[in-house]
Amino acid sequence: MKLKLTSKYGTVIKSLPETTTSAEFIRTIEADPVLTGNNQMLVTGIQVGFLSRCIDIQRDGKTLDDLGLASGSKVRIEMEPCGSTSKVSDGTLPNVDDKHVTVTQIETKGDNKYKREKDTVTSDIPLLYIKEFDSYLVLRNIPDDNSCLFNAISYAMVGYDSFGPGGVSPPGQLRQVVAEHIMTNVDVYDATVLDRPVDEYIEWIQKKDSWGGAIELGILSQWFNVSILCLDIETDKYITFDASENPRGYIVLVYSGIHYDVLAQNEQLLKDDFVKKWDTTLWPLENQAIKEYGQQLGALLQSRTPKGIDIAQDYDSITPPSFVGGQDCRSAKYSGNGKFFAASQPDKVQVFSTGDGAKDQYTIDIKDAMDMMFSPQGTYLCIWCKPILLDKESGKWNNNVALYNVVVKELVTQWSNKNQAGWKPQFTSEEKIMAKNSVNSKQIDFYELSSGKPFVLSQPTFKYKVQDGSANYQTFQISPGRNPSIAIFIPEKSGKPASVQIFNIPNFQQPICSKSFFKAERCQLKWNSLGTALLALASTDHDTTNKSYYGETNLYLLGIAGSYDSRINLDKEGPIHDITWSPSSREFAVSYGYMPASTTFFDARGNAIHQFPDAPRNTILYSPHARFVLVAGFGNLQGTVDVYDRQNKFRKVCTFEASNTSVCSWSPCGRYIMTATTSPRLRVDNGLKVWHASGKLIYVREYPELLDAVWKPQSIDNFPALKTLDAAIDPLPLAVAYLSKKPTSVVSDSTVQKPKGAYRPPHARRSGGPSVVGTTSLAQRELSQSGSSNASPSVAGTNGGGAYVPGATRRVVPGAPVPVVQESKAAAKNRKKRAAKKAAHEDDVSPSPTPTPSSGPKEEESGSVIGGVISYEEKRIRSLLKKLRAIETLKLKQANGDPLEDTQVSKINKEGEIRLELLLLGWNGETSA
């Protein structure tokens, strides 16, 4: 039999007869120079197989077959130098300290020619040098094959060669471990926890394309008796899964939102796989330093410097020459109106005008620009640079935030902000006012922006101060629109509830609307495009009911018009995945609940108006014209994308697969969808794809490492209304080449499949006869063959269930006389009247041609909501305006002294309600046709 033997010094494959005894097997190992590193070593433990089954290593006459070894087995050898007092393994799992897993115990492996000094390292492997241990903490990339969680754990517990095509422990074995554990603990893992029936979950998790998550991490932590630390690089926090009170060590997985990698410690940095066999991936609990270094490496992964930018127009590159050739580019941003584009280099920031390609507009000499933002109309550019401590004793920092006017090309002001989170100032839509937070989060300063007045940072035009001296605000958001408001969130503290307050700028004495609630450590604030309503998504880190690893979420709706507020009641338990406003500001959509999630649409008052069937989806995106709605499952889901026609009763347009998507957005014209796989969320298969709204893939661009991808912002006024969806263009050459290599990676339907006809039972499919649902039973066939005319309605009915249905067509039995339906006298009289009326109408009106699909939309569809597309809200506005006109007529009669009935007076009294509903629907006072 062939066995793969691995020790801390190396790996060999040996062919041994099945009759080899245990003593002979141990002597063979101790005599091998590769396994012993040319040292005098004694075997102290042997583990076999993926799940580390220890075997008895007594030097006796048992054969390899008796020990349970089979050809192809992977054997891990534990060894100690001769003369060591270490106890020989008794068949139990070895302790962490016996496995040389601490960084101080790592020895130089192999030939010294492979040893690299820290100052000569040129590898691009994500790493962090640990000076005190003279070793490296590196990120080991796990293949993206839908089993990255299982493969990452396999790498950490068994070794780098434990999975893949040549591995001895495919992830299917770990999936089987999870399935068996759930089957034996159904009282713990019930349908509520699994969010689906137990049998269905067990079948699902054993499929190779099913992604693991928190449940699988908890189970495998118990199985291996280790603590599994998942480092979320977006939040820089660990999510810990502890097996018991005394785990034998911990491993570190790096979670990017849709992918798992693993951290390892090694003295070597060669890319060759053989170096990975010296990785340390299991650390003792006493060694907490690795956790801290892991967070530092995660921060580096999150902020890796981009090497360049690529700007394309009509899928051809128009990148400025100064950024061609791999120039470092920390940040790149478009202005909100798409007029300018800014990109940073190590010693400057360049601003380009995008009116015709990308022409130089303004060069700002500034070093270490890390982040940028434009004001809404692109007049101002704000830059955040690396903070530098100027004086340690006084604690003075440099002014690392700079505000520039890119139109007149001058510096406006500077200030200091050490924290990159929340550094960005906010502007009103017309750029008349800028707001910035204070250092202590108790005050918001507002400045009027005028080209004729000097900007004095120490003299804000007006201020907002938190009334409660013990409280601090956490975040604020200025509304769009000509009459701006500001929403401010104050988290709960010392038993006091959290609150969201809305003020008119600059009147901060009394809020125009407020809402208080508990279970709110953070809050996401989202205004609609008109600035008339606000969604507040409150969340906590911990779920008090212990139903979720990711805390609790609640959604609240606050409206300026009428000063109303309410909690949005959702009909399914679980987290809220996504919330989004329609560009029309008249509705919003929420994706919520344990998977498969629910997706529900609400009007501006919070009333549910439509709901999709539950499905694994967590992302909702409206097209710019509000014509289409994209509902997708990204992140740790499969990447299925559904596109619906909002203006046609949510009819499904298409479904396609965009797996591993981390960026998704509509084009400004509302006809195309871009999906991109970016780093650091996923470090393989980076690139972008452009799809037509019908689901057709038209463009593909692959990159070794892609950090971000965005459309140039443009006004929808530049694009015609979407009354019908244009036909998709032919795929471009890159897309054709991609599809030829991966023909099964794209699944799209440009139209919804329609039924191909009535169901034909198996026994009728060969005969070629018609499908008769009513004759599928033996009794019905006997009746039809005998020609009986006494069949009861329950037999003769064609509704498929055997029961008589009023109005349903009767089945005609072969050979029986066709029943004659007797028409009543009243029915005959009415039929004659309709025929006469129709004939008279045809004489008066000349016939018009039958409209065809190409003759344009119906008259009722010619109204405009956004870009000329009709909607349900527009119809509602027309109905309300019709009622207003009727009320005006009644008011004139009332003014003239004409007597009115009670119902007419009641109509007049409802005028205020009608006008309020019009305001909430976004009516601007103009007459609607």
pLDDT at position 773 is 42
Task: Give the number of domains in the chain.
Answer: 5
pLDDT at position 581 is 92
pLDDT at position 64 is 79
Strands 74-81 and 41-48: antiparallel
Give the CA dihedral 675, 679, 680, 685, nearest 10 degrees. Answer: 90
* Residue at 672 is within a domain: yes
Band of the pLDDT at 306, cuts 50, 70, 90? low
Residue 874 has pLDDT above 50, yes or no: yes
Percent over 90 (pLDDT), the chain: 5
**Same structural domain, 153 and 293:** yes
pLDDT at position 621 is 93
* Residue at 369 is within a domain: yes
pLDDT at position 123 is 42
d(CA 591, CA 355): 38
pLDDT at position 642 is 93
Band of the pLDDT at 771, cuts 50, 70, 90? very low
Q: From 473, 487, 578, select the one nearest 533 (Cα to Cα).
A: 487
**Same structural domain, 225 and 269:** yes
pLDDT at position 630 is 94
pLDDT at position 834 is 75
pLDDT at position 622 is 93
118-122, 187-191, 364-368, 441-445: lowest mean pLDDT where?
A: 118-122
d(CA 582, CA 44): 67
The SS3 call for residue 381 is strand
Asked whether the beta carbons of 831 and 608 are under 8 A apart, the reply is: no
Strands 250-255 and 227-232: parallel
* Residue at 113 is within a domain: no
Band of the pLDDT at 599, cuts 50, 70, 90? very high
Of 420, 441, 459, the domain-final residue: 420
CA atoms 34, 39, 45, 51: torsion sign: negative
**DSSP-assigned letter for residue 278:** G
Question: Tens digits of per-residue pLDDT, 435-445?
Answer: 988 767 778 88
pLDDT at position 795 is 37
Residue 275 has pLDDT above 50, yes or no: yes
**Same structural domain, 29 and 2:** yes
**Same structural domain, 189 and 83:** no
Residue 839 has pLDDT above 70, yes or no: no
330-334, 552-556, 781-785, 797-801: lowest mean pLDDT where?
A: 797-801
pLDDT at position 111 is 33
Alpha helices in 133-288, H assignment, sequence order = 148-157, 171-183, 191-194, 198-205, 214-224
**Same structural domain, 273 and 311:** no
**Same structural domain, 621 and 733:** yes
* 661-675 burial code (b ≥16 CB/10 A, e <16): bbbbebbbbbbbbbb
pLDDT at position 115 is 31
**Same structural domain, 21 and 73:** yes
d(CA 341, CA 183): 57
pLDDT at position 6 is 78
Tell me how long the chain is: 929
Average pLDDT, rounded, for the chain: 74
Q: From 227, 219, 216, select the one nearest 282 (Cα to Cα).
A: 227
Structure tokens, 95: 């302790």
- When pLDDT is averaged across residues 692-703 and rounded to a whole number, the result is 88
* Residue at 564 is within a domain: no
Give the CA dihedral 833, 835, 837, 843, nearest 10 degrees. Answer: -150
Structure tokens, 724: 């019908």
**Same structural domain, 286 and 312:** no
Band of the pLDDT at 304, cuts 50, 70, 90? low
- When pLDDT is averaged across residues 147-175 and rounded to a whole number, the result is 71
pLDDT at position 817 is 52
CB atoms within 10 A of CB 151: 25
Q: From 122, 105, 117, 102, select the one nearest 268 (Cα to Cα).
A: 117
Q: Of 651 and 387, which is predicted with more confidence?
A: 651
Q: Of 707 and 757, which is predicted with more confidence?
A: 707
**Which one of 587-601, 733-747, 830-844 scores highest in mean pLDDT?**
587-601
Band of the pLDDT at 107, cuts 50, 70, 90? very low
Band of the pLDDT at 108, cuts 50, 70, 90? very low
pLDDT at position 269 is 61
Q: From 309, 313, 406, select the one nearest 356 (Cα to Cα).
A: 313
**Same structural domain, 223 and 135:** yes
**Which one of 288-297, 410-419, 579-588 scores highest in mean pLDDT?**
579-588
The residue assigned the tokens 């203006």 is: 647
Structure tokens, 379: 């007049």
* Residue at 921 is within a domain: yes
CA atoms 245, 250, 255, 258: torsion sign: negative
Distances (CA, A) of 220 to 242, 244, 532: 10, 12, 49
pTM of the model: 0.57
9-13, 619-623, 679-683, 773-777: lowest mean pLDDT where?
A: 773-777
**Same structural domain, 151 and 62:** no
Structure tokens, 770: 């018609």
Chain centroid to CA 844: 61
Of 420, 451, 467, the domain-final residue: 420
* Residue at 295 is within a domain: yes
- Structural domain for 345, as ranges: 306-318+330-420
d(CA 293, CA 757): 64
d(CA 581, CA 528): 6
Band of the pLDDT at 302, cuts 50, 70, 90? low
Question: Tens digits of per-residue pLDDT, 540-595?
Answer: 876 666 666 667 888 999 888 766 788 888 888 888 899 999 998 889 999 998 88
Q: What is the DSSP string of 118-152?
A: GGG----S-EEEETTTTEEEEEEPPP-SS-HHHHH
Q: What is the DSSP string of 15-57?
A: E--TT-BHHHHHHHHHT-HHHHTTS-EEEEEEEETTTTEE---
- When pLDDT is averaged across residues 741-749 and rounded to a whole number, the result is 52
d(CA 145, CA 149): 10
Asked whether the beta carbons of 126 and 301 are under 8 A apart, the reply is: yes
**Same structural domain, 72 and 140:** no
Chain centroid to CA 805: 48
**Same structural domain, 87 and 183:** no
d(CA 756, CA 416): 67
CA atoms 681, 683, 688, 692: torsion sign: negative
pLDDT at position 824 is 67
Q: From 659, 686, 663, 660, select the one nearest 673 (Cα to Cα).
A: 663
**DSSP-assigned letter for residue 717:** G
Q: From 650, 646, 628, 623, select the one nearest 716 (Cα to Cα).
A: 623
* Residue at 678 is within a domain: yes
d(CA 644, CA 665): 15
* Residue at 381 is within a domain: yes
Of 727, 754, 781, the domain-final residue: 754
Residue 249 has pLDDT above 80, yes or no: yes
